Chain A
Amino acid sequence: MTATKEEIISKLRHDMTRWEGFRPPQPGTDNDLGLGPVAAAFPYGVFPTGAIHEFISNCPEDTAASGGFIAGLVQKLLGNGGACLWISYTRRIYPPALKLFGVDPDRVIFVDVPLQKDVLWVTEEALKCDGVATVICETKDLSFTESQRLQLAVEKSHVTGFVLRKDVKKVNTTACVTRWQIRPVRSQLRTGMPGVGHPRWQVELLKVRNGRPGNWTVEWKKLDFQTIIIPQLTEEARRYA
């Protein structure tokens, strides 16, 4: 009797997530973005494609780290073909750096919107387009209604959208599926070696719909994400900074 109860509850849970707009991954598609242990935070353990992901940054250093993390995800998303659009108001992204994250810079279309208010218009148009695989939108503000519009757009088209919010003063509620904060942390080389190592970030998943938020240290190495376990000391240093 208890088994049936549990079965019923798990079924209801699945139904609820489905009603909330989450679609389980389609069989046969490769949705493993190489996130390793991070992926366990998502519902069904799969990175939600066809959704809007929000990245928060307060300073250009964070923006660069978020850019690197997004580029790492885009690398896998572009594997199935499709175009990638990078939409921004004041762009500072340096295209050749994308190659270091496995994205061919010549496959990315950069849209430098001259007016701040047009950024979201262009993003929404791009998210509605079937031939597009991912859209990265650099913006400052994203209101709840605007995020809902973007989320509705991708639910039809299955495009994965990344909203990179720069210089966020106040974090407001949005309809995005996840909210991330990526910060650079000290890189490590083998002991005793001078210099700068592979890019390493403190990845904070602040919010995820139907999943468990978490906190990881991730390194970008050999064109893949490597999760580093327990470097508590660097964590302390970051807090201090």
Chain B
Amino acid sequence: MPKRFASIWFRHLLTDWKAIRQTGLKGKAYVFAEPDHGRMLITALTDEASKYGVTEGMTVADARVIAPDLQVFDGKPGRNLKLLTGLAEWCLRYTPLVQVDPPDGLLLDVTGCTHLKGGEKAYLQEIVSRLKAIGYDVRPAIADTIGTAWGVARCATSGLIIPEGEHRNALMPLPPSALRLPMNQLLKLRNLGLHQINSFIYMPNAVLRRRFGKDMVLRLQQALGQEVEYLFPLKEPVPYSVRLDCMEPVRTRTAIEIGLNDLLERLCKRLYGEGLGVRSAILTWYRVDGKNGNISIGTNHPSNRTQHLFKLFFIKLETIAPGLGIELFVLDALKTEPVNDKQSEIWSARGGADSEEVAELLDRVAGRIGTAHINRYLPGEHYWPERTPEPNTNFKKKPESDWRTDKPRPMQILDNPERIEAMALTPDYPPKLFIWKGEQHIIVGADGPERIEREWWLEPGEHRDYYIAEDEAGRRYWLFRSGHYNAENNQHWYLHGFFA
């Protein structure tokens, strides 16, 4: 299929934007000016301002002399790019491939898209009329090459749709500025009296290159389609993406659910056929008033089950604000992985932590509370109690070493050991009594000490001497003394845990 490109030229991008934001400016003479070398230079202006003879690049002081009622607004560098990016996102509803074309245009790859709107004419008509309704004055063109579309949009006065293969003829009568050339080359061409492309198009390339540089030849060849030119889309096209155009704007929750279900069914059917499952997906909605938003989900386990993915989205469905209505849903599977062969697991009655049901459950839980709060621990090869259980989020990973059972460990542990008042008879004996939270515990049985050295390669500090202590009521505690016994100051006892 031959490529077709559309170029949209915003004739007064910044001033139109100002008129949309500030009512009452329409039809007035006003300009945007930016400081440059200590003076204000005009960067954008309206048709009305240019009637006075104001031009781009004029200083504001000069312009004020010839147009006394000229309004001047402060321009901001980079604002046009921001506006164009927003407009390019809006244009994603017409084609998935849109490129921002600074300073004042967009490029669309419309190959295979125009028939959806009833042909190229109707397609362009819809874009123009909708942008006009917003308040932008645009001129679009469609041609076989990016260069021709660009030139025709900006320099031609009629015939904005160039039929296939006609781009060479269309370029002929246009001025050289239709070729995206820098100003100095345009001046050179004008001085030589080459006012139209047809006056130099037949010159040999070698001649053009010698006189005007290789850029000029490249631009000419790109416009003619002899040199390939690529479009750099705003968003990388996602390989697994489904769209749902709504006939009528959708506002109710039921309708959104039906739409989502339809999208998921189509996506899952396709993924199933290719043996793939979703790891992360994003649902984007486009509202009638130009706003959009998205919700995203992630799974632990590649899944192509419609009901499961629907449940994951269902938890977040409340965040959709339909406003006046949603006209387009796009569901992208950002990350896909091959699904495991389920056949092999059919014999086990109940799977382990990595079974599909559990993975789906964890996806739902993660959707509500976040992935960071679901943990699993593997035996860490550390002696320090805080580091012995090693957090791991991979539910398939098997432990590399065994859990140690030779030393008793408390059932409950305090995140930060709590300071206690303890009294020991002799330095290396367990305490006789300790006071924790104002309650006195008399110790009747104890085991220890178990000295645990701090892992000096990880952090500095004192070692700990742990004791298991049982008080009169049978309550069992894990106590430790930090560092060596110190005769002057023995306030270094801590409570760290409770035994079962």
Could you tell me which A residues sit within 8 Å of B by CB distance? 60-61, 63-65, 67-69, 71, 80-84, 92-97, 99-101, 104-115, 118, 121-122, 125-126, 129-133, 183-187, 189, 194-197, 199-201, 220, 234, 237-238, 241
Q: How far is the CB of B172 from chain A (nearest CB, A)?
A: 69
Q: In the assembly, what is the distance between CA of A99 and CA of B364, in Å?
A: 28
Given pairs A109-B358, A111-B373, A183-B474, 13 additional interface contacts (CB within 8 A): A64-B500, A67-B412, A69-B500, A94-B409, A97-B409, A109-B353, A110-B377, A114-B369, A130-B350, A186-B472, A186-B474, A197-B445, A237-B474
Using C-beta atoms within 8 Å of the partner chain, give the interface range for chain B. Answer: 35 or more
CB contacts (< 8 Å) of A121 on chain B: these are 368
Beta-carbon contact of B412 and A63 below 8 Å: yes
Beta-carbon contact of B404 and A97 below 8 Å: no
Q: In the assembly, what is the distance between CA of A113 and CA of B358, in Å?
A: 17
Q: In the assembly, what is the distance between CA of A109 and CA of B473, in Å?
A: 33
Q: Answer yes or no: B444 CB below 8 A from chain A CBs.
A: yes
Q: In the assembly, what is the distance between CA of A108 and CA of B389, in Å?
A: 12
Q: In the assembly, what is the distance between CA of A217 and CA of B361, in Å?
A: 38
A64 with B361, Cβ < 8 A, contacts A99-B405, A196-B446 known: no
Q: Answer yes or no: B362 CB below 8 A from chain A CBs.
A: yes
CB contacts (< 8 Å) of B408 on chain A: these are 100
CB contacts (< 8 Å) of A187 on chain B: these are 445, 470, 474, 476
A94 with B355, Cβ < 8 A, contacts A110-B376, A114-B370 known: no
Query: Which of B369, B468, B497 sits near A94, CB closer than 8 Å?
Result: B497
A110 with B351, Cβ < 8 A, contacts A122-B368, A195-B445 known: no
B356: nearest chain-A partner, CB-CB: A131
Q: In the assembly, what is the distance between CA of A110 and CA of B377, in Å?
A: 8
CB contacts (< 8 Å) of B410 on chain A: these are 64, 94, 97
Q: In the assembly, what is the distance between CA of A132 and CA of B354, in Å?
A: 11
Beta-carbon contact of B474 and A100 below 8 Å: no
A237 with B472, Cβ < 8 A, contacts A63-B412, A96-B379, A194-B445 known: yes
Beta-carbon contact of B473 and A238 below 8 Å: yes
Query: Which of A64, A82, A126, A133 sits near B499, CB closer than 8 Å?
Result: A64
Beta-carbon contact of A99 and B403 below 8 Å: yes
CB contacts (< 8 Å) of B469 on chain A: these are 196
Q: In the assembly, what is the distance between CA of A165 and CA of B343, in Å?
A: 41
Beta-carbon contact of A96 and B374 below 8 Å: no
Beta-carbon contact of B413 and A94 below 8 Å: yes
Q: Answer yes or no: B122 CB below 8 A from chain A CBs.
A: no
Q: In the assembly, what is the distance between CA of A69 and CA of B499, in Å?
A: 12
Query: Which of B374, B409, B412, B444 sits near A60, CB closer than 8 Å?
Result: B412
Q: In the assembly, what is the distance between CA of A213 and CA of B41, in Å?
A: 91
Q: Answer yes or no: B414 CB below 8 A from chain A CBs.
A: yes
Q: In the assembly, what is the distance between CA of A115 and CA of B355, in Å?
A: 27
Q: What are the 10 A-B residue pairs with the smallest beta carbon separation, nearest first?
A: A68-B500, A131-B357, A241-B473, A64-B498, A82-B350, A186-B474, A94-B413, A185-B474, A81-B350, A99-B403
Beta-carbon contact of A196 and B369 below 8 Å: no
Q: Answer yes or no: B365 CB below 8 A from chain A CBs.
A: yes
CB contacts (< 8 Å) of A196 on chain B: these are 445-447, 468-470, 476, 499
Interface residues of B in 367-414 (CB under 8 A from A): 368-370, 373-379, 385, 388-389, 395, 398-399, 403-405, 408-414
